[in-house]
């Protein structure tokens, strides 16, 4: 393609991007500053052999982004995509960016885990992309903005709404397997770029100065969150539930951890309970009405929960005791009070299991380093096997590479440390205030 033609296409692409930005900012006013912060990087077009016109490359249909807020635009794709759809993808990519999907990604490269370079996107990264899309599209769809054809939608797949990407991963695994047996694919393979999984793409120019710094991103997120809360209060526009929650947590993380902890544990308990709700163990009392057909009876199963407490010495006993009281209070609220609970302490190795009725009965022992690989292996080796494992830790530990055979909720204490992508995570402050305070 000649330089002149290339410039003409680039100009046409810029005009479309400008129109798409206006459309997106108008549809979601609280995201306007975010939409304008996206930095479009126009890639070299793939040209048609005969006509020389740019050809759309499906790899770029999602207008993939990186974590510096660069939006990679492939000219053929941009010229072939309606303006509204480009705007939709802009809102979608902003969602990946501000919700930190790249840093939450279980497929992001970690030191010592794999060789340098950008290896092919594996199954894990692909599933994570779909789960992150499910988390976002809920809200974009709720705004009466139906997504482009082929994108993941929890409603269309019959999945529960308003879950996190971490929660959608196992649901999509089950669904994909079932659909695969019927010869169907779950959804089209859409790649949203390194903004979703933290894996650098070959088309990214890592050395360029373009895009936002960490500080820019932080300031931008705070202003988006403030705008979302302001728009909701003033009634200027609909702010979807997921964005409202994100904004409130972003602005007041220390106040809302308790509510979030409750929501995550209750969600873990009810998902587990939901898996065994239909049971043939007891025939329904109305069985006679069905003339020979025995319907499954609804059993309110109480999920079996195990607490794993990091007693490595970097977390103080005072904080652990208060957190344990919070966690057991939440479990009592769902499962009924006074239920026996299994718990054990773990530093570099797991200690014997304690069966307790109250948080205060748990004896905290341990010290030194932490290895939660040992803790989780011990938890899932218990018989009967727990449905839900709640881990209390500062996250300064190695974690198992793969998701264990139980749902895991991690209460991550303090600012440092990390939790694996396959777990549901709630960050709690290192200084846990007495209940009633904040
Ligand atoms: Zn996406």
Phi/psi at 218 (5° precision): -65, -45
**How far does CA 24 lie from the centroid of its chain?**
23
Residues 6+ apart with CB under 8 A from 202: 118
CA distance linking residue 369 with residue 400, whole number of Å: 16
- The tally of CA atoms less than 13 A away on the side-chain side of residue 245 is 15
Q: Is the dihedral of CA 54, 59, 65, 70 positive or negative?
A: negative
384 cis-preceded (ω within 30 degrees of 0): yes
Alpha-carbon gap, residue 72 to 64, rounded angstroms: 6
Q: Which range has highest mean pLDDT (46-55, 298-307, 328-337, 340-349)? A: 340-349
Q: Is the pLDDT of residue 256 over 90?
A: no
Cα 129 to ligand 1 centre (Å):
6
User: Residue 432: what pLDDT?
Assistant: 60
Beta bridge partners of 14: none
Per-residue pLDDT reduced to its tens digit, 378-431 = 999 999 888 889 999 988 888 998 888 888 989 988 877 888 888 888 888 777
What's the CA-to-centroid distance between 150 and ligand 1, angstroms?
Answer: 12
- What is the distance in A from the centroid of ligand 1 to the CA of 33? 20
Return d(Cα 120, Cα 248) in angstroms, integer.
Answer: 37
Helix (H) or strand (E) segment spanning residue 380: helix 372-381
Cα(410)–Cα(261) distance, rounded to whole angstroms? 9
Asked whether 345 and 365 are in contact (CB, 8 A), the reply is yes
What distance in Å separates the CA atoms of residue 157 and residue 318, rounded to the nearest whole number?
A: 45
The rounded Å distance from CA 19 to ligand 1 centre is 21
Question: Contact, 198 vs 109, CB < 8 A?
Answer: yes
Short-list 105, 90, 110, 88, CA closest to 165:
105
pLDDT tens digits, one per residue of 26-51: 988 889 999 999 999 999 887 788 88
Q: Average pLDDT of the chain?
A: 80
- The alpha carbon of 422 and the centre of ligand 1 are apart by a number of angstroms equal to 18
299: pLDDT strictly greater than 50: no
What values do phi and psi take at 345, rounded to 5?
A: -90, 155
For 37: left if phi > 0, alpha if psi spans -120 to 50, otherwise beta; the answer is: alpha
Rounded percentage of the chain residues whose pLDDT exceeds 90: 28
The yes-or-no verdict on residue 186 having pLDDT over 70 is yes
Q: Tell which wins on pLDDT, 293 or 112.
A: 112
pLDDT tens-digit readout, 95-147: 999 988 998 888 888 655 554 444 456 888 999 999 999 998 877 655 666 67
Distance 94 CA to ligand 1 centre (A): 9
3-state secondary structure of 73: strand
- Say how many Å lie between the CA of residue 133 and the centre of ligand 1: 5
Distance 399 CA to ligand 1 centre (A): 26
Using DSSP's 3-state secondary structure scheme, residue 354 falls into strand
111 bridge partner residues = none
pLDDT of the residue at 87? 95
Q: What percent of the chain has pLDDT over 70?
A: 81
| pLDDT on residue 206 | 57
How close is the Cα of 196 to the center of ligand 1, in Å? 7
**Three-class DSSP category at 437:** strand
Residue 242 Cα to ligand 1 middle (Å): 15
Nearest partner of 360 among 378, 346, 347, 341, judged by Cα: 341
Length of the chain: 438
What Rg, from alpha-carbon coordinates, does the chain have? Answer: 24
Q: Cα(28) to centroid of ligand 1, in Å?
A: 17
Compute the distance between CA of residue 74 and CA of residue 76 in angstroms, rounded to an integer: 6
Distance set, CA 193 to CA 102, 190, 257 (Å): 9, 9, 30
d(CA 391, CA 437): 24
In sequence order, the β-bridge partners of residue 305 are 388
DSSP 217-270: HHHHHHHHHHHHHHHHHHTSS---HHHHHHHHHHH-HHHHHHHHHHHHHHHHHH
Which DSSP string corresponds to 49-80?
TTT--B---GGGTT--B-TT-EEEE-HHHHHH
Answer whether 94's CB lies under 8 Å from 132's CB. Answer: no
Determine how many CB atoms are found less than 10 A away from the CB of residue 413. 26
User: Could you give phi then psi for residue 365, rounded to 5 degrees?
Assistant: -130, 150
Mean pLDDT for the stretch of residues 340-360: 90
Least confident of 192-206, 330-344, 381-395, 398-412: 330-344
pLDDT at 37: 92
What fold, for 257-279+297-428?
A: Rossmann fold (3.40.50)
Q: What pLDDT digit, counting tens, does each position of 57-106 carry?
A: 888 999 999 999 999 999 999 999 999 999 999 999 999 999 889 988 88
Q: Tell me the CA–centroid distance for residue 13 and ligand 1, in Å.
A: 21
Cα(51) to ligand 1 centroid in Å equals 32
Provide the pLDDT for residue 118: 45
Residue 125 has phi, psi (to 5 degrees) of: -65, -35
d(CA 123, CA 133): 15
Confidence class for position 356, pLDDT limits 50, 70, 90: confident
The phi-psi region of residue 353 (left if phi > 0; otherwise alpha if psi is between -120 and 50; otherwise beta) is beta
Domain residues of the chain, as ranges? Answer: 3-108+122-197, 257-279+297-428
């Amino acid at each position: 393609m000649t330089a002149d033609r290339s410039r003409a296409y680039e100009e046409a692409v810029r005009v479309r991007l400008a129109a798409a930005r206006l459309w997106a900012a108008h549809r979601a006013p609280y995201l306007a500053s975010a939409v304008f912060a996206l930095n479009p990087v126009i890639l070299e077009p793939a040209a048609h052999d005969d006509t020389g016109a740019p050809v759309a490359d499906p790899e770029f249909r999602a207008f993939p982004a990186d974590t510096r807020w660069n939006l990679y635009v492939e000219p053929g794709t941009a010229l072939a995509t309606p303006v509204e759809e480009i705007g939709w993808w802009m809102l979608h990519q902003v969602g990946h960016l501000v919700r930190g999907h790249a840093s939450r990604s279980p497929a992001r490269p970690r030191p010592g885990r794999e060789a340098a370079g950008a290896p092919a996107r594996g199954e894990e990264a692909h599933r994570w992309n779909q789960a992150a899309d499910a988390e976002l599209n809920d809200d974009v769809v709720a705004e009466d903005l139906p997504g482009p054809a082929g994108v993941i939608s929890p409603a269309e797949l019959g999945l529960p709404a308003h879950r996190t990407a971490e929660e959608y991963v196992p649901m999509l695994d089950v669904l994909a397997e079932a659909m695969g047996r019927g010869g169907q694919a779950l959804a089209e393979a859409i790649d949203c770029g390194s903004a979703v999984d933290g894996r650098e793409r070959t088309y990214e120019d890592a050395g360029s100065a373009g895009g936002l710094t960490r500080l820019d991103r932080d300031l931008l997120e705070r202003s988006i969150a403030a705008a979302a809360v302001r728009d909701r209060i003033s009634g200027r526009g609909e702010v979807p539930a997921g964005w409202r929650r994100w904004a409130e947590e972003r602005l007041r993380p220390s106040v809302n951890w308790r509510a979030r902890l409750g929501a995550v544990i209750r969600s873990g308990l009810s998902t587990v309970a939901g898996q065994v709700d239909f049971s043939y163990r007891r025939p329904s009392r109305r069985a006679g009405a069905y003339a020979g057909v025995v319907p499954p009876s609804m059993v309110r199963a109480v999920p079996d929960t195990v607490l794993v407490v990091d007693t490595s010495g970097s977390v103080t006993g005072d904080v652990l005791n208060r957190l344990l009281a919070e966690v057991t209070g939440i479990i009592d609220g769902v499962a009924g009070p006074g239920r026996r609970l299994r718990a054990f302490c773990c530093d570099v190795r797991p200690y014997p299991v304690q069966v307790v009725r109250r948080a205060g009965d748990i004896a905290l022992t341990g010290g030194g380093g932490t290895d939660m690989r040992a803790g989780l292996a011990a938890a899932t080796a218990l018989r009967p096997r727990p449905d839900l494992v709640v881990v209390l830790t500062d996250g300064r530990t190695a974690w198992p590479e793969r998701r264990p055979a139980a749902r895991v909720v991690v209460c991550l204490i303090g600012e440092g440390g990390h939790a694996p992508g396959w777990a549901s995570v709630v960050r709690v402050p290192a200084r846990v205030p007495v209940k009633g305070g904040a």
